[in-house]
Structure 1
Amino acid sequence: MAKAKVVASNLGAPPSLDWIPLERLTIDSRYQRALGNKNERHVRRIVAHFSWNRYQPIVVTESGDKFAVIDGQHRLAAAVLHPKIDSLPCYVVDAPTVADQAAIFIAANTDRIALGRIHQFWAAHAAGTEWAVRIHKLCEGAGVEISRTPRSNLPPLTTVATFTIQKLFPLGDNAIASALALLVESHGDTADVFRSATIAALARIAAEQDFDFAGMVKVLRDLDLTEQLARAKAKKATGGGKLEVALEEILRKRYARRNGAGRR
């Protein structure tokens, strides 16, 4: 990648890295958030799974004989609770006033690109995490590719619905695999089909004991799934609830109607 043409001219004072004892680290409540119940649960998760391999140095600045923590309050709270930690590696920046510190705090918590779910999935898969490996195996077995990036327009046989598939685990792998296979059989050459709501709706239908796979394929082949998803969105808008549930109701009616006609 070529050097950028537009760059910041004032880089400020270079920071330093240092190990600082916990008792010298302090929180300024004038710009830091108070730790509520949700934050405390997050802190305890950090303590339970703490590893230096995953630790990122906290950002601090000198404040008298202490160091004010600008970014990393949860990591500090976790370190205080952990019996084997008495100091932390810190990124020490030059921020002499509270206004300077608050500005860095805002930037550190807003000027960042959050790790999306699809990126979380691929990172977990690379790490060999069980849930990610399981999802990949299910999709690969159905001939469905998992996108490497989040996208709104999906090519045929492509999905980003990893989070939804993970939520469907209680239904069992057979139900999830059947949902994917239904879409492959009925709309394998259609773009933008392997959506979260559609996969979830079909997996719940496929989980039933007397489910007729071939019959459902016939139902789906007669449907424009984009149109059905739009109907489900309208249904959700007026009646509330989840999109996948609204779509499930629509597909169930079609499925029941066809099965009923087939038995006569």
Structure 2
Amino acid sequence: MAGGIEANGTFTLATGLGRARVHLGSVIIERSGDVWVRTIEETPEFIEGLRSSFTSAITSVGPGKARQFGTSTRTRKTTGTTRSTSTKKLPRHFPPVGSQPSIEWIHLERLSVDRTYQRSTENEPSRRLIASIAAKFDWRLCAPLVVSRRSDDSLTIIDGQHRWMAASQRDDIPQLPCCIFRYQDLQEEARMFIVANRARRPMNRLDDYFAAVAAADEDALELQQVVTDAGLRIARNTSSTAWQPGEIAFTAAIANSIRRFGPAITSAALTNMAEAFPNQKLSHGGAIFGGLVKIMSHPAPDFDPDRLVTALQSRTADQWGECTTGLKGGDTRAAALHDAIMRAYAEQSMGT
């Protein structure tokens, strides 16, 4: 044992891979001086794996068993076409860096943060995030904190201070799960903090949308229905070079239009795009959609939707997109498309 028994009945064991926290109901397995800690459910499979790993290799093969074990040294004669076999090589990797952590439940008061490199939480976004986590704490979203065990045995949070501060605001969460590492010094801690935060890949808007649809989010499902009813579909890739005709990616603009103007106007703008640009890649779809929403949300008294489709068909989607060349900002591009489309609409009116 590494230390005494905690008030909750848990204690730590020193293993070859670091310290392991033992909870009530855990199973401790020891073999040849090596120690493991597993849950009751994991134990049978783990022990079976140990048996397999310690099984002695077969060094002698009796008569008639060579082919069974694949160790025959006889050369087989083959006729006809010979087949060459190649062994698939595994990719080469650098050895792992550092030692494996211990996974422990740590009481909140034993944890701290080092302000010399840790992010400040004295700002409104951090305060809102901490309050939100505390108000609706969900263990399913609480990944273990990354913690440094220093030479004086103090525990410093590398990653997870918002979860820690949120749990500290409650009186029903006395401890949190932690991955505990030993670092050489504060400089290495700070480097690991930088790596942990820079390595995160934020969700893009399309990942967020598809995850929300899978979670049956009402807003996402409504957006999906509006787009599908218009004859379009949401692209899976944010890169326009990978889009197929009829695919769009401006989910934020569609959601904003539904909130401001309702599904009817949003659907009408999307339907006009589907009708005007069949079999065309909609690389500039966001700007075109923005211009159409501006038109349809404030139509003239004698506005003719059919004439609008004809006006849109006077150019390709890419040609309409050229109207936004050099312009920045969604509203600026949408305004430019609004003006260009209305000029074409007026020309159609004069032609009739």
TM-score by length of 1: 0.88
2:304 is the counterpart of 1:212: yes
- Equivalent residue letter for 1:68: T
- Equivalent residue letter for 2:132: R
- Bigger Rg, which one: 2
Counterpart of 2:194 (choices 76, 84, 106) is 106
Q: CA RMSD in A?
A: 2.3
- Equivalent residue letter for 1:243: R
2:249 is the counterpart of 1:160: yes
SS at 1:242 equivalent: helix
CA 1:103 to 1:139, structure 2 compared with 1: closer, same or farther past 3 Å? same
2:318 is the counterpart of 1:230: no
1:10 is matched with 96
Task: Give the stretch that moved more between structures: 180-189 or 191-200.
Answer: 191-200
Cα distance, 1:254 vs structure 2: 2.9
1:176 is matched with 266
Q: For structure 2, which runs of at least 5 residues remain unmatched after alignment?
A: 1-87
CA 1:102 to 1:122, structure 2 compared with 1: closer, same or farther past 3 Å? same
**Is the Cα–Cα contact under 8 Å of residues 60 and 68 in structure 1 kept in the other structure?**
yes
- Equivalent residue letter for 1:168: S
Query: Take 2:134 and 2:343, find their aligned partners in 1: how far apart are those partners?
Result: 49
Cα distance, 1:52 vs structure 2: 1.0
CA 1:88 to 1:156, structure 2 compared with 1: closer, same or farther past 3 Å? same
SS at 1:182 equivalent: helix
Query: Take 1:44 and 1:204, find their aligned partners in 2: how far apart are those partners?
Result: 38
SS at 1:69 equivalent: strand
Task: Give the stretch that moved more between structures: 118-127 or 56-65.
Answer: 56-65
1:138 is matched with 226
Q: For structure 1, which runs of at least 5 residues remain unmatched after alignment?
A: none
Cα distance, 1:194 vs structure 2: 6.4
Cα distance, 1:157 vs structure 2: 0.7
Higher helix share: 1
Task: Give the stretch that moved more between structures: 41-50 or 55-64.
Answer: 41-50
**Is the Cα–Cα contact under 8 Å of residues 291 and 334 in structure 2 kept in the other structure?**
yes
2:145 is the counterpart of 1:58: yes
Cα distance, 1:23 vs structure 2: 0.7
Task: Give the stretch that moved more between structures: 221-230 or 184-193.
Answer: 221-230
**Is the Cα–Cα contact under 8 Å of residues 206 and 236 in structure 2 kept in the other structure?**
yes
SS at 2:325 equivalent: helix
Query: Take 1:11 and 1:113, find their aligned partners in 2: how far apart are those partners?
Result: 22
**Is the Cα–Cα contact under 8 Å of residues 24 and 65 in structure 1 kept in the other structure?**
no
Query: Take 1:194 and 1:162, find their aligned partners in 2: how far apart are those partners?
Result: 13
Query: Take 2:90 and 2:125, find their aligned partners in 1: how far apart are those partners?
Result: 41
1:77 is matched with 165
1:189 is matched with 279
SS at 1:60 equivalent: strand
Task: Give the stretch that moved more between structures: 187-196 or 174-183.
Answer: 187-196
Query: Take 2:233 and 2:331, find their aligned partners in 1: how far apart are those partners?
Result: 29
- Equivalent residue letter for 2:100: P
Task: Give the stretch that moved more between structures: 118-127 or 64-73.
Answer: 64-73
Query: Take 1:19 and 1:254, find their aligned partners in 2: how far apart are those partners?
Result: 67
- Equivalent residue letter for 2:203: L
Cα distance, 1:65 vs structure 2: 3.9
CA 1:256 to 1:21, structure 2 compared with 1: closer, same or farther past 3 Å? farther
- Equivalent residue letter for 1:94: R
2:215 is the counterpart of 1:127: yes
Cα distance, 1:193 vs structure 2: 4.7
2:51 is matched with none
**Is the Cα–Cα contact under 8 Å of residues 290 and 331 in structure 2 kept in the other structure?**
no
Query: Take 1:194 and 1:127, find their aligned partners in 2: how far apart are those partners?
Result: 29
Give deviations 1:43-88, integer Å, cap 9, x for gaps: 2222233211122221111133431110112222222223332211
2:124 is matched with 37
Counterpart of 1:250 (choices 312, 336, 340) is 340
Counterpart of 2:136 (choices 21, 31, 49) is 49
Query: Take 1:216 and 1:145, find their aligned partners in 2: how far apart are those partners?
Result: 22
1:199 is matched with 289
What is the aligned-residue identity percentage? 29
2:38 is matched with none
2:37 is matched with none
SS at 1:40 equivalent: helix
